[in-house]
Structure 1
Amino acid sequence: MEQTIPQTVSRESLGAKVGLFSTIGNVVLFVCKYLAGTLCGNVAVLAESFDNLMDSLNSLLVILGFHMSGRKEDYLHPYGHGRCEYVLGLIIAITIIFTGAAMLRESILWILYPPDRSFPAVVYGVSALSILVKYAMSLYTSHMNKQLDSSALKACEQNEAADIRMTLLTVGSACLYSLSGFSADGVVGIVISGLILKDGLKSFAEHFVLLLGEGVSGQQMAQIQAIFDCKKDMVTLKKVDLHDYGPESRIISLQVTVNPICSPVEVNTCMDSISEDIKALGLCPAFSLSMEQILV
């Protein structure tokens, strides 16, 4: 028996909106930073511009990833392509790790070889624009992800947060230096890069586990068991398996034993009730529920 939760708006279209919004924002930042860095001869701003260019490619990957995961099942992939979304999240997590590693390297170089501290006004302006755009992108991604609950978009949020931290470090340290002559770039950069690496590694581990496959959590198992405890005179839960083929394709397989004194009508009524109760738990956005009845 199968139960599904209908969706009026597809994940593919919502994910594509997030990807398109992020792509436009990152392209705008790339153009602004590239022009500012070229005109002012500021290598740091030029480097940031190419980081935004890479972010725009990641945003295109978001569109592609949601498109791929939204494809219907076929002969070779009978359970659909939902895991493409997990692969996308893994790729974004890797880019976060590279961002943190690059920032750590730059921070160490700042300590060993202090750079030229001249910051034209246009650099401050572009940095402020970057923070505003990235913050808007982060808010929009977070808002849309409340509907999607996507691990890939969660990784995007972490990537945008990392970019905001980097830009805040650049602007904040420049202001501190201009006011006091004290440079804390390297030390603060190492701390922030450590936080970015922590987020990236955590996101990588989460998506790696999703790709490997995981069972139901202890809390979910307790909720399911509580449903069966209310009907223990008719059925007994023996085993629970979760098969994750993507955010919209999760199959919960329950193996139960049925009291032989119960009639087929009573058993079917009980199973229907259990199905509705498990559906009400909202264990995942959409799922199929199959039960294997073992007569004792």
Structure 2
Amino acid sequence: MVNLLAKKFIKNYNEVDNENVRSAYGILCSLLGILFNVFLFGIKYFAGILSGSIAIMADAFNNLSDAGSSLITLIGFKFAGMEPDNEHPFGHGRIEYIAGFIVSVLIILMGVELFKSSVIKIFNPEAIDTSLISIVILIISILVKLYMSLYNSNIGKKINSSAMKATATDSKSDCIATTVVLISMLILKLTGLNIDGYSGVLVACFILYAGYDAAKETLSPLLGQLPDNSLVQNIEQIVMNYDEIVGIHDLVVHDYGPGRLMISLHAEVPGSGDIFVLHDAIDRAEMELSKKLHCEAVIHLDPIDTDDEETMRMKDLVSKKIKEELDEIISIHDFRMVKGPSHTNVIFDAVIPPKYKMSEKEVEDKIKELVSRNFKNHFAVVKVESTYI
């Protein structure tokens, strides 16, 4: 159904990297979400009145809140697709993350309210009607929510949308929750055992978990999460494909919303090379990154002495010792040597991962001790920094 509507109403629907196409997919799915959830609210509300089930009534209002969530997602996609302006030169893409986070908060609030009402129902149980029409309505609801989960998940992956993925998670939890309610009604019908309140608590737990999971998914990019390994590997492969570039470091990826990535890195080039040739290689690498990864790329040209065999040999030896005696995960770059009459300074940067087991100062001290111990009359001048990938 979604694919048929996309073919009919979305121009160039296969070009999901296009911001307008991506936004259109988000708006289409949000509109469908509003329609489906309003429909489910109506039939569940009717079933709840008919049966007197607190779990069904709570599930009905959960669907009504889902319709509101779809409306927020719709607004988020609409604003996220706006062009950059003077106040927001990086665009408005993060509004999509904010919309997804608001949806998550609403899911959590609904879960809290359901939990409270279900606990009351445990201590004050009421009679429940287990008529065939109520059971049929719940089965219809499960099938609709299952379909919503599938199309939201597929489109979310297709357009790489955390908001759509959060909506898919919500629909999946609703499907499970309604199944629990249906099972409780069948148990009552077959055994006479009323577990409606307990089912409501279980449903509330599913909703709370879904809200937490969705909040984590949408809040993480707002806080500044690590980029995907596949993205980092693509960047390295593209840049290192240029013969003039011999190494890269200090890679930073800024996420300003889907389709609005800013990439910066340092590219090591031979210090003896022609500056115009090297600059042209850097320009071409930036343009290729922009074209293939749909991002804005800035590359800092970092000259190193590749012609000095003694310096390159010492760099390999120091790097090997650091990996053997400290940690294989530590890398070094910007290596150079300054010789004096009594000693030689080896100057370089060392890179450690975030939240490393040692502080930057501890790593610096250990590297200095390691160099002076292993290489006579050599002293390390080292700057330790954390990586952003």
TM-score by length of 1: 0.83
Q: 1:166 aligns with which of 160, 177, 184?
A: 177
1:238 and 2:246 correspond: no
C-alpha distance in 2, partners of 1:36/1:234? 67
Task: State the match for 1:14 in structure 2.
Answer: 25
Which amino acid is 1:29 matched to?
L
Shift of 1:220: 4.8
Q: 2:262 aligns with which of 251, 256, 259?
A: 251
C-alpha distance in 2, partners of 1:37/1:197? 22
**Matches for 1:182-221 after TM superposition, within 5 Å:** 182-217=193-228, 220-221=231-232
Task: State the match for 1:53 in structure 2.
Answer: 64
The unaligned stretches of length 5 or more in structure 1 are none
Q: 2:104 aligns with which of 89, 93, 98?
A: 93
Q: Is the 8 A contact 1:33 1:126 kept in 2?
A: yes
Structure ranking higher in strand proportion: 2
* SS at structure 2 position matched to 1:10: helix
Which amino acid is 2:136 matched to?
G
Q: Is the 8 A contact 1:96 1:162 kept in 2?
A: no
Task: State the match for 2:338 in structure 1.
Answer: none
Aligned length in residues: 288
1:78 and 2:89 correspond: yes
Q: 1:51 to 1:219 in 2, by over 3 A?
A: closer
Shift of 1:73: 0.5
Task: State the match for 2:156 in structure 1.
Answer: 145
Task: State the match for 2:297 in structure 1.
Answer: 289
Task: State the match for 2:315 in structure 1.
Answer: none
Q: Indicate the structure whose relative CO is greater, using CA pairs within 8 Å and at least 6 residues apart.
A: 1
Structure ranking higher in helix proportion: 1
* SS at structure 2 position matched to 1:241: strand
Provide, for residues 95-137 of structure 1, a one-character-per-residue CA deviation record: whole Å limited to 9, x for no partner: 2222332333344334322231322332222222211222222
Q: 2:52 aligns with which of 29, 33, 42?
A: 42
1:27 and 2:35 correspond: no
C-alpha distance in 2, partners of 1:48/1:180? 23
Shift of 1:246: 0.4
C-alpha distance in 2, partners of 1:144/1:190? 31
Shift of 1:213: 1.7
Provide, for residues 44-89 of structure 1, a one-character-per-residue CA deviation record: whole Å limited to 9, x for no partner: 3444433322221211112111000000011111111000000011
Provide, for residues 20-45 of structure 1, a one-character-per-residue CA deviation record: whole Å limited to 9, x for no partner: 1111111222233344445x373634
Q: 1:234 to 1:61 in 2, by over 3 A?
A: closer
Q: 1:271 to 1:234 in 2, by over 3 A?
A: same
Identity of aligned residues (%): 28
C-alpha distance in 2, partners of 1:84/1:18? 17
Which amino acid is 2:274 matched to?
S
Q: Is the 8 A contact 1:215 1:241 kept in 2?
A: no
C-alpha distance in 2, partners of 1:225/1:177? 61
Task: State the match for 2:274 in structure 1.
Answer: 263
Task: State the match for 1:102 in structure 2.
Answer: 113
Q: 1:37 to 1:228 in 2, by over 3 A?
A: closer
Farther off after superposition, 234-243 or 182-191? 182-191
Q: Is the 8 A contact 1:103 1:190 kept in 2?
A: yes
Q: Is the 8 A contact 1:236 1:256 kept in 2?
A: yes
Q: Is the 8 A contact 1:244 1:250 kept in 2?
A: yes
Q: Is the 8 A contact 2:17 2:159 kept in 1?
A: no
